[in-house]
Amino acid sequence: MSGTSTAAGPRRLRTQVAVVGAGPAGLVLANVLLRAGVGVAVVERRSRAEVERRARAGLVEHRVVEYLRAHGLADRLLAEGTRHGWCDFLCAGRLLRFDYGAQSGGIRHWVYPQQLLVRDLIADLGTAGHTPEFGLPATRVHVDGAGPARVECPGLDIECDYVVGCDGPHGITPQALPPDTAPRAELDERYPYDWLTLLAEVDRGVPGVVYAVHEDGFAGVMPRTSRIARLYLEIPAGDATARWTAARVHERLRTRLVGAGAAVPRLGRIMETGVLRMRSSVRQRFQHGRLFLAGDAAHVLTPSGAKGMNLAVADAADLADALIRRYRDGDETHLAGYTARRLPEVLRTRDLAAGFLDLLHPQGEHPADRRGELARRLERLRELAEPGAAGAAFAHWYVGAGPGLPVPRRAPHGTPHTMQSREPRESTP
Ligand code: APR
């Protein structure tokens, strides 16, 4: 997008699909649409530098990688990411190796930091001819009434056929949905604990994820790069990061990770501290008229199982397919079925992530209760780690071995179908 505002009013832009938010959902959607010839405009309230260094998730499902690969969006991930097929559970002093790569029949997922994927997807968008408008928040969307949909930003008005809200749970697009789409009480859950999230220097790379289930609370260690690890520490719900000094964090980690041995490298400087408020919340519908929500804007899950980013890409893949059909065949039925297709998977994922979270968090007011819970957790973890039906089912879900994401049909000679599309047009009033 380019153009300048004039004294007469904001800059105007006409496109087919306006995407609000340049996280994984918005960027995957925009890339796939553009490559299929659908006109797209992306607005992102943060600067490019901010989104490219915002460290968050890091486990990318097998099916997501295959999808990105099919669209030519996975080159750096495949070159620089690492495949993972096992994790360790540390419970009641026992270290159990869960070889989920073997239990899933050889399918593994990838470790690749989300901000690097975001960086790559922005570069890929540039190659396809579009640069998102960074540092530009959408302030309002209009999807009701006749005429085109509209996204208002300071100094820019986008007119479009459809708006896709990829702006997370606190963005403006979820607020534009009617109240009957809000999460029902049973799908809006707040847990009695949070996770302190830390990025820490390490003396060597973390070889695999470690989930430590301890009566003092949960701790998790995740690989990121050869010098950096992501760590999680259970803390009471609502606790402020300021209460968690580096000394206290190190002390808690030492307590909870005792017995991990070589599974955890020596931890150095803590580079970043934040809190993940543990809640999950799923909207009843992800669509209202010409507004569609994808990723965290539609559903927030707890980080257990690392499914947030993967579901965001799966939403984007589904929506891209539906929009491409709409422009290729003029058929809107697939678009209308978006919620009906996505909601069951989101709910299933939410349930499995909640079950996994429960496994990692023995609760109980008294230490004796917690020790009893810990013994039960150890049994369940053993059952997972040993070859068998429970381990295999979990392994398939964890690596994302399920059905592939919809890849748009290709023309016989291998190029995508040409859309009967209007190119994005720009005009100033
Ligand atoms: N206008 C424009 N952009 C906005 C606005 C707005 N009003 N509000 C928010 N945004 C931007 C944010 O700055 C952010 O970059 O929307 C983007 C949303 O990106 P993500 O939060 O990464 O959401 P999503 O693409 O759905 O990916 C979600 O990634 O880290 C995982 O587990 C995490 O589940 C999460 C997943």
Same-domain status, 67 and 173 = yes
Ligand 1 atom closest to 171 (CA): 8
pLDDT at 6: 54
Of the residues 261, 277, 293, the one at which a domain ends: 277
Contacts of residue 415, defined as CB under 8 A and 6 or more positions apart, other chains included, come to: none
Instruction: Kindly give the distance from the C-alpha atom of residue 18 to the centroid of ligand 1, in angstroms, as a whole number.
Output: 15
Q: Is 307 in the pocket of ligand 1 (CB under 6 A)?
A: no
Of 248, 277, 306, the position where a domain reaches its end is 277
pLDDT tier for residue 421 given thresholds of 50, 70 and 90:
very low
Q: Within this chain, do residues 418 and 341 fall inside the same structural domain, yes or no? A: yes
- Ligand 1 near 64 CB (within 6 A): no
Q: Ranked by mean pLDDT, which of 137-146, 256-265, 405-414 comes out on top?
A: 137-146
62 lines ligand 1 (CB under 6 A): no
Q: Is residue 2 situated within a structural domain?
A: no
Q: How far is the CA of 20 from the centre of ligand 1 (A)?
A: 9
Ligand 1 contact via 165 beta carbon (within 6 Å): no
**Number of domains into which the chain is organized:** 2
Domain with 40 in it: 11-84+108-189+280-361+401-427
Mean pLDDT of 122-134: 96
Does position 152 have pLDDT exceeding 70, yes or no? yes
Instruction: Return d(Cα 208, Cα 85) in angstroms, integer.
Output: 8
**Same-domain pairing of 173 and 284:** yes
Residue 301 burial by CB count (10 A; 0-12/13-18/19+): exposed, middle or buried? Answer: buried
Phi then psi dihedrals of residue 19, to 5 deg? -115, 125
Examine residue 42 and state whether it is found in any structural domain, yes or no. Answer: yes
Cβ of residue 85 lying under 6 Å from some atom of ligand 1: no
Cβ 387 vs Cβ 103: under 8 Å:
yes
* Main-chain phi, psi angles of 66, to 5 degrees: -65, -40
CA of 23 to the centre of ligand 1 (A): 5
Is the pLDDT assigned to residue 335 strictly greater than 60? Answer: yes
Q: What's the mean pLDDT when you consider all of the chain?
A: 91
Distance from the alpha carbon of residue 21 to the mean position of ligand 1, in angstroms: 6
Last residue of a domain, one of 235, 254, 277: 277
Worst-scoring range by mean pLDDT, 173-177, 228-232, 299-303, 363-367? 363-367
Could you tell which of 134, 157, 166 is best to mutate to test the pocket of ligand 1, judged by most ligand atoms within 8 Å of the CB? 166
Ligand 1 close to Cβ of residue 43 (< 6 A): yes
Spell out a b/e string for 98-126, using b for 16 or more CB atoms within 10 Å of the CB, else e: bebbbbbeebbbbbbbbbbbbbbbbebbe
pLDDT (0 to 100) of residue 9: 85
- The atom number, within ligand 1, closest to the CA of 153 reads 1
Whether 423 has a pLDDT exceeding 50, the answer reads no
Average pLDDT over residues 278-304: 96
User: What's the whole-number mean pLDDT along residues 390-406?
Assistant: 92
Tell me, what's the pLDDT at 381?
96
The better pLDDT of the pair 313, 416 is held by 313
CA of 165 to the centre of ligand 1 (A): 9
Phi, psi of 286 (to 5 degrees): -110, 15
Q: Give me the pLDDT at residue 377, please.
A: 94
7 pLDDT band (50/70/90 cuts)? low
- Are residue 262 and residue 209 in the same domain, yes or no? yes
CA distance 68 to 351: 26
- 390 within some domain: no
Does 369 map to a domain? Answer: no
Q: Could you read off the pLDDT of 202-246 as tens digits, one per residue?
A: 999 888 899 999 999 999 998 888 899 999 999 999 999 999 999
Residues 196 and 140 in one domain: no
**Which of 32, 42, 45 maximizes ligand 1 atoms within 8 Å of its Cβ, making it the mutation to test the pocket?**
45
> Given the structure tokens 């419970």, which residue do they identify?
91
- Pair (200, 185) in one structural domain: no
Residue nearest to atom 22 of ligand 1 (CA): 23
> 10-19, 240-249, 360-369, 372-381: lowest mean pLDDT where?
360-369
Q: What percent of the chain has pLDDT over 90?
A: 81
